[in-house]
Amino acid sequence: MVNCFLPSHILSIFAIFEFIFFCILLIFCLKFANKMGRSQRKIPLDWEKYTPIGSVIQGTRIFAFKTPLKPELQDRICKTKRFTTSDLFRMVEGNGKSIGLIINCSNTKRYYDAQDITGMCIEYKELQCPGRGFLVRTDLVKDFIQIIDDFLNRNSDNDLLIGVHCSDGINRSGYLVCCYLICKLGWSSHDALNAFENARRSPIQRGSYIQSLHKTDSDRRASSTLTTRRNVFSDGTAEKTLTSLFEQEAAANSMQQFFQLEQQFKQFASSTCPDLNTFSPVHVPPVPQRSANIAKASSIQQVSSSLDTARGERSYNDDDKSQASNIDYESMGKVLPKEAVSKSQSRRERRQRREKMFSVMKRGRFWEINEMRDAMKNI
């Protein structure tokens, strides 16, 4: 019927398109069937070049190994490189250990039968860890840590081992194990990576995994520091520490001012009486009557000897109130002319002034020292 109404050349075009469509459909079906067949018999990439099993990480019960394969998947593999679940059990038991838990991180069940493990009374857990987008799955890390903690709590009275594997037992397995060492055991990222590499005898090969581990370690340290600071401020330790620091700083400033004042007193004493600079730590501004007293060196030497004698025999009273009430700042630093007083009276007055200065310095009250200094400036 259609042939009666359509030209022959149009019919030929329809026939060509129909033929092309059926060819494309046939090719697609063949490729899909071939892919399904190969996927059922394909082994992980570079699976043969990795060692079957690593040693136990020091300080833990964890070890990593590559995924065992079914016997039918190893037809084209050399017998010396084949690795099955039976080989896994034999290698572990050869070291005098036993497996208590196996965690599968390979995101597939086609490499071996889980019944081979559970049939040996070994716990079996699966974590669907995809090859792509694995790092953003923080829930997988939490689940991994929780699985290990639960197992250790139930088996604290034995030394059963925990086996972790992905396809090759290197990248995803290494990342999860290192996360456990960093987040749970408090290891640094460098220590965790070195420990895994030494145990597995192969480093983690994906740079993004290594960078993520370093970031995890950095975040853990920052969180730990923040928690410590919060605890310090919550129990009042920070306030006590700050108060102590302020008190220490104030005391240091006061002592510095005291030493500066003492140095000034020493400089004045050495300029007034060179022989008495070791006795008087007090600095007094220059006195107008000084020129009349230093004219005779003999009288200065007599004063020096008298003061040295008084230094050894004189005892100072530690009563602050009585000494503070007897201080006369107006008379400190004054030197009377020789004609007005006798030599003995002059020596006695100078000795009294020195004693007053020392009493003020001994008590260490800066307000008294400042008043004494102001009084001597006004002389």
**Same-domain status, 363 and 261:** yes
**Same domain (yes/no): 102, 187:** yes
Q: Both 302 and 262 in a single domain?
A: yes
pLDDT value, residue 177:
97
In this structure, are 150 and 190 located in the same domain?
yes
Q: Which helix (H) or strand (E) holds 164?
A: strand 161-165
Of 129, 166, 179, 273, which residue is the catalytic one?
166
Note whether 167 and 42 are within 8 A (CB): no
| Short-list 57, 48, 155, 138, CA closest to 101 | 155
Q: Is residue 10 part of a domain?
A: no
The proportion of the chain whose per-residue pLDDT surpasses 70, expressed as a percent, equals: 63
Whether residue 164 sits in one domain with residue 97: yes
Structural domain contains residue 233: no
Query: Would you say 2 and 15 are in contact if contact means Cβ atoms under 8 Å apart?
Result: no
pLDDT tens per residue, range 193-220? 999 999 999 999 999 999 999 999 999 9
Q: Can you give the pLDDT at residue 315?
A: 42
Judged by DSSP in three states, 165 sits in strand
Token digits of residue 201: 């005898």
The answer to whether residues 168 and 269 belong to one domain is no
Residues 190 and 124 grouped into a single domain: yes
Residue 5 belongs to some domain of the structure? no
pLDDT at 375: 73
Mean pLDDT, range 140-159, rounded to an integer: 95
Is residue 57 pLDDT above 80, yes or no?
Answer: yes
CA dist., res. 5 & res. 64, Å (int):
74
Query: In terms of pTM, does the model score above 0.75?
Result: no
- Token pair of 42, please? 């394909």
User: In the prediction, which pLDDT does 8 show?
Assistant: 60
Residue 134 domain-assigned? yes
Tokens found for residue 120: 């040996």
Distance CA 125, CA 56 (A): 19
Q: What is the DSSP code string of 340-379?
A: TS-HHHHHHHHHHHHHHHHHHHHHT-HHHHHHHHHHHHT-
Amino acid found at 280: S
Last residue of a domain, one of 199, 220, 241: 220
The CA-atom distances, in angstroms, between 51 and each of 48, 108, 206 are 8, 21, 18
pLDDT in tens, 275-305: 444 444 444 444 444 444 434 444 444 444 4
210 & 98 share domain? yes
One domain for residues 213 and 259: no
Rounded Cα distance between 155 and 36, Å, is: 42
Domain of 129, CATH number, reads 3.90.190.10
Which of 220, 238, 259 lies at the terminal end of a domain, its last residue? 220
Lowest mean pLDDT among 61-75, 96-110, 327-341, 343-357: 327-341
Q: Decide if 190 is inside a domain.
A: yes
User: Is residue 281 located within the same domain as residue 357?
Assistant: yes
Instruction: Determine the structural domain holding residue 270 and report its residue range.
Output: 250-377
DSSP-derived letter for residue 101 is E
Q: How far apart are CA 216 and CA 374, in angstroms?
A: 64
The verdict on whether 166 is a catalytic residue reads yes
Same domain, 213 and 89: yes
Both 316 and 358 in one domain: the answer is yes
Total structural domains within the chain: 2
**Which amino acid, residue 282?**
V
Amino acid at 327: I
Question: How far is Cα 372 from Cα 264, in angstroms, rounded to an integer?
Answer: 13
Do the beta carbons of residue 124 and residue 102 sit within 8 Å? Answer: yes
Kindly state whether residue 17 falls inside one of the protein's structural domains: no
Please say which residue of 220, 238, 271 terminates a domain.
Answer: 220
Mean pLDDT calculated for residue range 44-61: 93
